[in-house]
């Protein structure tokens, strides 16, 4: 079970200070049970098809599932739910409070995940984003995620596609153009 276990969840960054980037410096810590009302409020105001409390609980009961929150002035301003796999982290849910967007909160949560990747020798972060969710696509692109796959009509509630986006710790040159078609002319140019 991946809830924080103490009533004084461990903090890993100082809070309530300006971020060097000009945004808000948030504290990122384990999600604990009493955070759920604020997390649900962010979820409901962020998504057309929000997770229910039971959706959160059933995910967080899995041994490999982790919940974290971003806190500012004792207020929850963002959260993320992710799964640990052998070589990667899979982001299942991620949102910041509508009143605290474009202040670097999402960026700090992604940085925390990237820190965890390097500590745990995992190589990549994967997520699925709805085709219609351009804001999230732009956000993840700004954090060096790339769209690597389209999952056609992936959702039960709409006919839209999902894009799989991936961040890799050690990106190699051949990874950076995932959709590049095989190009015979370029091949001969290279050979010349
Ligand atoms: C996507 C989301 C998490 C971004 O969080 P955030 O805290 O506002 O992000 P940040 O302030 O850290 O943004 C960092 C950078 O991402 C990019 N970015 C973020 N939101 C953007 C938007 N709406 N449009 C274009 N670029 C955006 C920008 O480059 C931004 O830097 P800048 O503000 O200096 O230009 C937030 O908008 C959100 O919760 N959306 C609803 C839930 C959601 O869609 N979750 C993802 C599900 S896959």
**CA 113 – ligand 1 centroid, Å:** 16
CA of 106 to the centre of ligand 1 (A): 6
Q: How many distinct structural domains can be found in the chain?
A: 1
Range of 75's domain? 17-191
Q: Phi/psi zone of residue 73: left (φ > 0), alpha (ψ -120 to 50 degrees), beta?
A: left
Q: Which of 179, 106, 168 is nearest to 138 (CA)?
A: 106
Whether residue 23 is contained in a domain is answered as yes
Given this model, what pLDDT does residue 127 score? Answer: 98
Is 77 inside any structural domain? yes
The span from the CA of 70 to the CA of 58, in Å, is: 21
Q: Which of 49, 102, 155 to mutate to test the pocket of ligand 1 (most atoms within 8 A of CB)?
A: 102
> Ligand 1: distance of its center to the CA of 101 in Å?
7
Sign of the dihedral defined by the CA atoms of residues 152, 153, 155, 159, in that order: positive
Residue 9: inside a domain, yes or no? no
∠ CA 126-20-75, nearest 5°, is 70
Q: Would you state the pLDDT for residue 121?
A: 85
Tell me which residue of 163, 144, 143 sits closest to 153, measured CA to CA: 163
Q: What pLDDT was estimated at residue 190?
A: 36
Say yes or no: CB of residue 136 within 6 Å of ligand 1: yes
Instruction: Please report, rounded to a whole number, the percentage of residues in the chain having pLDDT higher than 70.
Output: 77
Residue 11 confidence (pLDDT) above 70: no
CA angle, 177 as apex, 173 and 178 as ends, to 5°? 115
Q: What's the whole-number mean pLDDT along residues 143-151?
A: 96
- 19: its two tokens: 């971020």
Q: Whose CA is nearest to atom 47 of ligand 1?
A: 94
Predicted pLDDT at 87: 94
Q: Does ligand 1 come within 6 angstroms of the Cβ of 129?
A: yes
Q: Hey, which of 76, 89, 93, 135 would you mutate to test ligand 1's pocket, going by the most ligand atoms within 8 Å of its Cβ?
A: 135
DSSP annotation string for 59-90: HHTSTTEEEEEEEETTEEEEEEEEEE-SSEEE
Which runs of E-coded beta strand occur in 3-74? 17-18, 24-25, 27-30, 65-72
Q: Is residue 5 part of a domain?
A: no
Residue 42 sits in a domain of what CATH number?
3.40.630.30
Residue 172 has pLDDT above 90, yes or no: no
In angstroms, rounded to a whole number, what is the distance separating the alpha carbons of residues 170 and 164?
A: 18
The predicted-structure confidence for 68-103, as pLDDT tens digits, reads as follows 999 999 999 999 999 999 999 999 999 999 999 999
Cα 74 to middle of ligand 1, angstroms: 22
As a whole number, mean pLDDT of residues 12-31 equals 72
> What b-and-e string marks burial along 81-118, b requiring 16 or more CB atoms within 10 Å of the CB?
bbbbeeebbbbbbbbbbeebbebbbbbbbbebbbebbe
Q: Are 69 and 28 in contact (CB under 8 A)?
A: yes
- 3 or 117: which leads in pLDDT: 117
The answer to the question of residue 41 being in a domain is yes
Look at residue 1 and tell me if it is in a domain: no
Give the tens place of pLDDT for each residue, 96-142: 999 999 999 999 999 999 999 988 889 999 999 999 999 999 999 99
The pLDDT value recorded for residue 9 is 45
Position in ligand 1 atom list of the atom nearest CA 140: 16
Q: Is residue 48 part of a domain?
A: yes
pLDDT surpasses 50 at 4: no
Confidence class for position 158, pLDDT limits 50, 70, 90: confident
Q: Is the pLDDT of residue 165 over 60?
A: yes
In a domain, 6, yes or no: no
- Answer whether residue 20 shows pLDDT above 60: no
155 confidence band (pLDDT: 50, 70, 90) = confident
* Residue 99 in contact with ligand 1 by CB distance below 6 A: no
Q: Which atom of ligand 1 is nearest to the CA of 23?
A: 11
């Amino acid at each position: 079970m991946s809830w924080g276990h103490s009533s004084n969840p461990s903090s890993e960054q100082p809070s309530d200070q300006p971020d060097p980037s000009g945004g808000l410096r948030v504290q990122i810590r384990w999600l604990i049970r009493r955070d759920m009302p604020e997390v649900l409020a962010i979820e409901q105001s962020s998504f057309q098809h929000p997770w229910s409390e039971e959706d959160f609980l059933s995910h967080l009961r899995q041994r490999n599932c982790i919940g974290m929150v971003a806190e500012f002035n004792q207020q929850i301003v963002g959260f993320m739910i992710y799964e640990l796999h052998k070589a990667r982290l899979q982001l299942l849910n991620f949102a910041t409070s509508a009143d605290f967007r474009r202040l670097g909160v999402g960026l700090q949560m992604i940085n925390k995940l990237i820190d965890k990747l390097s500590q745990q020798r995992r190589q990549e972060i994967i997520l699925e984003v709805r085709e219609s969710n351009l804001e999230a696509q732009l956000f993840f692109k700004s954090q060096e995620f790339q769209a690597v796959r389209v999952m056609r009509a992936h959702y039960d509630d709409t006919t839209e596609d999902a894009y799989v986006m991936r961040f890799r710790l050690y990106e190699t040159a051949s990874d950076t153009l995932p959709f590049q078609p095989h190009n015979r002319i370029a091949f001969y140019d290279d050979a010349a």
